[in-house]
Amino acid sequence: MEPKVNIMLISHSRDIAKGLKALITQIAPTVPVLAIGGNREGGLGTDMEMISEALDGVRDQGHTLIFYDMGSAKMNADLVLELKGLQTVEIVEAPFVEGAYLAAVKASIGKTAQEIKLDLERNFPNFLQTGE
């Protein structure tokens, strides 16, 4: 059996992260979803320690795909991954809501993390293009 896939949501807003988690758990209740939003004081922002602590909780529990809302959320996730050297965690370049939602649906039917990433790249091929 393939390792399970966890979904991590990193948003600048606690409400957005929790809301997306609620949406995902309604459609894919068997998929673990970690929602990291805002800073420790409850304001807007992202927090490397909160990301790190959440990843510690799923370290040996399958693969984790990270979805983020804006650039500094990705930057903090990148830094945490670099410091921890985690091989089973990947940042996904896809729209925050649609990408995480589709990933959870695919995880719920047994797709691997790599299959999910390939599917998302096919579904959102121009996500990172700058319009050059």
Active site residues: 12
Q: How far is CA 36 from CA 3, 109, 128, in A?
A: 22, 24, 23
**10 class by beta-carbon count within 10 Å (0-12 exposed, 13-18 middle, 19+ buried):** buried
Neighbour count for residue 2 (Cβ, 10 Å): 12
Contact 9, 28 (CB under 8 A): no
Task: Determine how β-strand 33-37 pairs with β-strand 5-11.
Answer: parallel
Q: Is 29 helix (H, G, I), strand (E, B) or coil?
A: coil
